[in-house]
Structure 1
Amino acid sequence: MKSYSMQATADTAVIELKEVPVPEPGPTQLLVKLHAASLNRGEFILGHGLTKPGSNKPIGMEGAGVVEKVGSAVTTFKPGDRVMLRGPGTFSEYTAADVREAIMMPPNLSFIDASAIPLTFLVVHDMLVQQGKLKAGEWLLVTGVSSGVGVASLQAAKAMGAKVIGTSGSRAKLDRLDEVGLDIGLHTRKGDFSTAVLEATGGKGVNLVVNTVGGSVFEECIRSMAFEGRLATVGYVDNQLSAKIDIQALHAKRLTLFGVSNKMRTPEQRAAGVPAFVRDFMPHIAAGRIKPLVDSVYPFDKLEEAKAHMEANQHLGKIVLKI
């Protein structure tokens, strides 16, 4: 089968399409013939630590396809089932997936749309529900709302009954997100939005912040937060890895700051969140209340072009490889 791998050094990453054997599923795995897989920016940013210097490993982190074979201990899936999954090596024709990370696809979903859900929306569930404790009627601020995780955060929050403010450097992207339910779009790439956020929330601030941008907007996120507000850090595309913390605001407003990453979690810890995601989000997805926003679809042999499109920051939502 054909499969993409990435060779990483301290400052470069080389992607190669190889011919490798079809994997044999272990006792608790599924062999899935992949039909689509979506791109995630963090996988290609060396500083994020997902690919260590000197390593050469299969790439791709989420996808969708059809079960071809199940491991000896698997009882929840069978050959022919349509599934979406989170796991390594999805930029391939086949993958051996952990059964705990596989989710049955609703009939209404295409493989293209389904491939844009597992990793991205599991991250969003972690931020908004498990750690963020977002409630209906509360305010959410998303910096970099036009990114894949940003759009998914917007969609999930609206399905939960929250109100959403988003920042973006593109006015055109914000206008398009009005159709997805964005309540207030702030056209900026800088840390200069707290005044507008406080004005929109009657001076109270937002209850939850999803920061997809990084350190360059961290201080402004703190200034935008309400009493007992929560701040999720999920990315740092600005490559600014440090920022000042207003200790007085942290103390007086009883703020909660948390990170969202799977890098140091065990497979058991990662898988533990899947049942809650299925319970909380899959009914919205099955009913069409949450529909992944796919920016573009590239043929399997055009991964480099898809990556270049992502790095040009012109996309809105997810970029998908059709396999």
Structure 2
Amino acid sequence: MQVHDGQGQLELRDTDVPVPGAGQLLVRVRAAGLNRGEFLLAHGLHAKGGGNAKAVGTEAAGEVVACGAEVSAWKPGDQVMGRCPGAFAEYVLMDQREAMRRPSRLSWEEAAAIPLTSMVVHDMLVLQGRLQADQWVLVPGVSSGVGVTAMLMAKALGARVIGTSGSQEKLDRLRGLGLDLGLKTRLPDFKDAVLRATEGQGVNLVINTVGGSVFAECLRCMAFEGRLATVGYVDGVLSADLDLEALHSKRLTLFGVSNKLRSTAQRAQGVPAFIAQILPLIESGRITPLVDQVFPFEQLPQAKAVMDASNHLGKIVLAGLP
């Protein structure tokens, strides 16, 4: 992907098969997940100019083809899933610290929907969010890929979940998957309903997938010692009012989740905890990634258009390499 006149352009290019370096796996990609953030120019992930094209795609599932030096836990033929740069390709390099074994009960497409989104959600719910069973979670934009994953993981951890969406149809489908309360709205007008549902206490954790337009309302929904995670700003609103009195008196915690400025080692720190805490829930069937649509690799522009239109529920995945 490259930027011209402020617009991102997708191009399919032939490149050499990469050679794994020390600690790397060469993976034959079977499926790769789409994530909205990797296409948002506002995130600053793509340099301007045709000479600075960046390979896109950040999570994949496939088979190990070759291993670099200092790799002992993997061998060719192993089935793997993990975060990796340039995942929209036939072959990709994956750091062994990011690699996880594909659960046998999952398809390639389901496995490709896990690594980035589920690792981000685990960070928000568990590592930073300190979520406990029976606590309340609010997810504005619950029908997004991150939102659905947050709902499924929170329910598997024993929490209760409130979600907002502009689509009643999507909320109805999510209710069948465990959503406790669905609020049909795209506006910052959900505080009263949230407080009623929580008997006036508010929610313990907010997963803000929308952005600044709902930030202040999210703050008004928080319980004493509540936590709020900001994971995106699909609304394009990058600033919001902050109620310092509420922050102070209710001992609130606000944090962001992004991999942009983290080193490879920092990103890998959470993988062992994810493998120990979440992978067993996936392997046992308590969590199954929700894949909305699967597109052939050559139809990436069409897949992105569906994602941009926000008509999907859960994840969009590329698969079917020639």
Which of 121, 124, 139 pairs up with 2:121? 124
Q: Which digits, 9 at most, give the CA deviation of each residue in 1:59-80, with x for residues without a partner?
A: 1000100001111210111111
1:182 aligns to 2:179 (yes or no): yes
Which of 146, 153, 158 pairs up with 2:155? 158
1:67 aligns to 2:64 (yes or no): yes
Aligned length: 318
Matches within 5 A, 1:37-186: 37-54=32-49, 55-186=52-183
8 Å CA contact retained: 2:292, 2:313: yes
Which of 29, 36, 46 pairs up with 2:24? 29
CA distance in 2, matches of 1:76, 1:52: 36
SS at match of 2:18: coil
Q: Which digits, 9 at most, give the CA deviation of each residue in 1:120-157, with x for residues without a partner?
A: 00000100000000000000000100000000000000
SS at match of 1:107: coil
CA distance in 2, matches of 1:145, 1:171: 12
Bigger shift: residues 9-18 or 30-39: 9-18
Contiguous gaps of at least 5 residues in structure 1: 1-5
CA distance in 2, matches of 1:270, 1:261: 10
- Identity percentage of aligned residues: 61
CA distance in 1, matches of 2:264, 2:256: 18
Matches within 5 A, 1:278-317: 278-317=275-314
Which of 244, 252, 259 pairs up with 1:247? 244
Contiguous gaps of at least 5 residues in structure 2: none
- Could you tell me which amino acid in structure 1 is paired with residue 309 of structure 2? A
CA distance in 2, matches of 1:10, 1:104: 41
CA distance in 2, matches of 1:53, 1:292: 34
CA distance in 2, matches of 1:45, 1:265: 18
SS at match of 2:65: strand
SS at match of 1:161: coil
Name the structure 1 match of 2:218.
221
Which of 199, 203, 215 pairs up with 1:202? 199
Moved over 3 A (4+): none
SS at match of 1:72: coil
CA distance in 1, matches of 2:46, 2:203: 34
1:19 aligns to 2:11 (yes or no): no
Give TM-score, length-normalised by structure 2. 0.98
1:52 Cα offset (Å): 2.9
CA distance in 2, matches of 1:255, 1:186: 24
After superposition, the CA RMSD in angstroms is 0.8
SS at match of 1:19: coil
- Could you tell me which amino acid in structure 1 is paired with residue 257 of structure 2? V
SS at match of 1:154: helix
8 Å CA contact retained: 2:211, 2:234: yes
1:53 Cα offset (Å): 2.6
Name the structure 2 match of 1:8.
3
SS at match of 2:37: helix
Q: Which digits, 9 at most, give the CA deviation of each residue in 1:47-96, with x for residues without a partner?
A: 01222333311110001000011112101111110000101000000001
CA distance in 1, matches of 2:100, 2:5: 35
8 Å CA contact retained: 2:2, 2:47: no
Name the structure 2 match of 1:3.
none
Q: Which digits, 9 at most, give the CA deviation of each residue in 1:267-306, with x for residues without a partner?
A: 1100111000101100000011100000000011100000
Residues 139, 10 of structure 1: CA spacing in aligned structure 2 closer, same or farther, 3 A cutoff?
Answer: farther
Give TM-score, length-normalised by structure 1. 0.97
- Could you tell me which amino acid in structure 2 is paired with residue 221 of structure 1? C
Q: Which digits, 9 at most, give the CA deviation of each residue in 1:1-54, with x for residues without a partner?
A: xxxxx1124611111101110001002100000000010001111001222333
Bigger shift: residues 7-16 or 107-116: 7-16
